[in-house]
Amino acid sequence: MTVPPAAPAPHLLDTEAGQHAVNERLRAHGTAAPVTLPGDVAAFAVTGHEELKEFLGHPDVAKNACHFAAMRAGEIPPGWPLATFATVEGMTTADGADHRRLRSLVTKAFTARRVEALRPRIEKLTEDLLDRLPGAVAADGVVDLRQHFAYPLPMSVICELLGVDAELHDRLHELSNLIVSTVVEPAQVLSANREMVAILTHVAEVRRADPGDDLTSALIAAREEDGDRLSERELVGTLLLMIIAGHETTLNLINNAVRALCAHRDQLELVRSGDASWAAVVEETLRYDSPVSHFPFRYPTTDLEVGGAVIPEGTPVLASYSAAGRDPRTYGPDADRFDVTRLGGRHLSFGHGPHFCLGAPLARLEATIALDRLFARYPELDQAVPDAELAPLPSFVGNSTQSLPVRLTPLTPLTP
């Protein structure tokens, strides 16, 4: 009698060096792999491109945590590191008519015209940061590009867009890091969430009392034809989402693009020669090294077969964007190669279906301007430390490195 092979042991999904090495191990278990989240919470990760695309748009897949079986049963402890992704109120955790209502209200405020109107300001912020970059260079000729360029640009843009004062930028970034980390202690998670909500509640109160030409004021004013508005909790949840997603992902995108170009100088030369565009660099980075690795959560509302595996109803599922971006069945045997001449746009890094990222145009605009101006100003910029020596982010949600040491100009040999 033939004994069927044993089901693969769930992979303990926690921060590890090399997200892509982790993704290879997950893919070896199938395009829908069982994983264990912090706190011994059973979950699945969908790693295949086509399987993930179908899953993201499947009618039997929900975003509202009322479908999260373990949370429904009271099995998720307070301060669970990933709780915010499941419980924040807003369109990212809403389904059906409720999601359409919330997305419509946000879309009324976050228009294409408002994004395009930011172009001059993004260009000015970029040039200002590049002007200051030499002053941040250490005695050894190295500067952390993540800290001094990739981080302050998107943080400044999203905070100006929302009408958040500059003195709050660094604290909001620190709180965002704690919220998206998957290794912090429960007390830190609860404290970070409370402080973030308190800050954004105050921002909303100020804008309600004194409206301005900012997105927060527009969100407060937005209403449906029947007079419906965002509730206070929905407004704060939307602001929280925009602060985190509006800077963390673009920060990682810029960081990962620079790393890829430094490691593939031939691809950088294609852009310089006019044979490829900066927009193509952004799209290939989104595929090759997605700024988001495993995004929480979706829940099957019935037992659902995905890639030959059955995911039980109510199981939290991660969208593994960084794994799907290197699926050889979709991108061929060279899926692990950074190639800016690939057809752009064929990736899932901004999601798919009804929850496709509303901030995609802004992220693309910021990253394209940032890379163009950075390499125009410092054409010889190069990475000062090999990728293998850079610490990854303490999270399997975000995908990048904690720092990016670079030299703006080549080392000058010492003369005898």
124-143: per-residue pLDDT in tens?
A: 999 999 999 999 999 999 99
AA identity, residue 264: H
Maximum Cα–Cα distance across the chain: 79
Cα distance between residue 289 and residue 98, in whole Å: 33
Please report the pLDDT score of residue 12 as a whole number: 67
pLDDT for 16 beyond 80: no
Please report the pLDDT score of residue 222 as a whole number: 83
Please report the pLDDT score of residue 178 as a whole number: 86
Please report the pLDDT score of residue 6 as a whole number: 44
Question: How do residues 181-235 score in pLDDT, each as one tens digit?
Answer: 777 788 888 898 899 999 999 999 999 999 998 889 988 988 655 567 888 888 9
Question: How do residues 58-93 score in pLDDT, each as one tens digit?
Answer: 999 999 999 999 999 999 988 888 988 999 888 999
Cα distance between residue 165 and residue 202, in whole Å: 11
Question: Under DSSP, is residue 81 helix (H, G, I), strand (E, B) or coil?
Answer: coil
Q: What is the mean pLDDT of the chain?
A: 90
Please report the pLDDT score of residue 29 as a whole number: 86
Q: How far is CA 268 from each of CA 261, 346, 383, rounded to the nearest angstrom?
A: 6, 21, 13
pLDDT for 354 beyond 80: yes
Please report the pLDDT score of residue 191 as a whole number: 92
Question: Under DSSP, is residue 249 helix (H, G, I), strand (E, B) or coil?
Answer: helix
The size of the chain, in residues, is: 416
The DSSP H or E segment spanning 137 is none
Select from 259, 257, 291 the least CA-distant residue to 276: 257
Please report the pLDDT score of residue 9 as a whole number: 59
